[in-house]
Amino acid sequence: MQTVDRPLDLRANDPGIRRDAQVLDLIKRSVRLLRVRRQHRSNGGKHPSLYLNYRGTGFPIQSSERVRLPKWRFTTPWMKVQLATLVLAEQGYMQFKLHLHDDLRQRLQDLGRGSLRDELRNSLSRHLKRRFDEEPWFLFVMEEHTKTGTLTRPHAHGSVAIRPAKLFEKGEHRRRLRKLAATDGLAVAELEAGRLLTRQALAAAGGALSHSSVSVTTGVDQSRNLWTRRPYHPFFNDQWVDYAFKNARAFSPSLGDQRLALPYGLRAEARRLWALITIGEEAIDQWD
């Protein structure tokens, strides 16, 4: 029951999240109506192909006696991540769970470096930039509790955009990617190459590529430090965000209170999407 209830407690115990969850339900309902009525095509204005799922009948959503729309700065971190996830869903993304390698974590603590959240955010950004011309957007929430609330190794639950990449010239995946290009097309193969590079970046950011598979400091097997999967749903994945935040209010001996990493670029785009959803077409006219 604890496993089931922890994400649900977010909405029950936090008035801000409870309010934002009602707003998210309104957004979902409007998107579904658009699809049913086949009115998700652009209704004109600038950027006619941008965020089609949030333009047309049902948008902008309105405040009511039951649901009040907050300004962006008053939305909860939970809601900001929900909107950032909608941004990532426009072009495709991958969910991940990443444990920091125990030896890397111990070294960072011995050096007295900044928070584990900042170290992982900066490391992931650095490794993504090495592999892609343009850094893919990402976000994550740090925690060190299990589903039942007991302490465990620090880890991150997050999402990262998948960008296409050139097919590998060498390596173990080269032949499989070229076969995929021949059967399903170059675009599909390049997207799979991007997914593989993204996994490499995640593994490197967690310390897997520079440390042994068994921790020297703790003796714990590190081979399962990284888990990834495609989202269950193409657009709305609020359950994954619930899961990431499930222990955000729990006391953490080593992570502190600031556990969300939402880099500026993705945060700014999520704010633009919020403006489109709550203001309408006129918000697009103010964009670059």
Burial class (CB in 10 A: 0-12, 13-18, 19+), 155: buried
Q: Residue 40: pLDDT above 70?
A: no
Digit-coded pLDDT (tens) for 155-213: 999 999 999 999 988 888 889 999 999 999 999 999 999 999 999 999 999 998 888 88
Q: Where are the domains of the chain?
A: 77-275
- What does the pLDDT read at residue 48? 62
Q: At what angle do helices 77-89 and 264-279 cross, to 10 degrees?
A: 90
Mean pLDDT along residues 56-70: 85
| Unique residue bearing structure tokens 């650095």 | 126
Looking at every residue in the chain, the average pLDDT score rounds to: 87
Which of the 8 DSSP states describes residue 234?
S
Q: Which of 33-47, 127-141, 158-172, 237-251 has the lowest mean pLDDT?
A: 33-47
Task: Tell how far CA 146 is from the center of its chain.
Answer: 20
Task: Tell how far CA 253 is from the center of its chain.
Answer: 25
Pick from 212, 260, 209, 246: nearest CA to 85: 260
Confidence bin at 68 (pLDDT 50/70/90):
confident
Q: Residue 244: pLDDT above 70?
A: yes
| Unique residue bearing structure tokens 């097309």 | 185
Digit-coded pLDDT (tens) for 245-288: 988 878 887 787 889 999 999 999 999 999 999 998 888 877 76
Digit-coded pLDDT (tens) for 4-36: 455 567 776 788 899 999 999 999 999 988 877
Indicate the length of the chain as a whole number: 288
- What does the pLDDT read at residue 265? 94
- What does the pLDDT read at residue 1? 35
Please provide the CATH number assigned to the domain covering 77-275: 3.40.1310
Q: What is the C-alpha separation between 237 and 83, in angstroms, rounded?
A: 10
Which of the 8 DSSP states describes residue 94?
E
Q: What angle do CA 272, 233, 82 make, to 5 degrees?
A: 35
Q: Which of 22-36, 53-67, 71-85 has the lowest mean pLDDT?
A: 53-67
Q: Is beta strand 226-229 parallel, antiparallel or unpaired with respect to 151-161? A: unpaired
- What does the pLDDT read at residue 211? 86
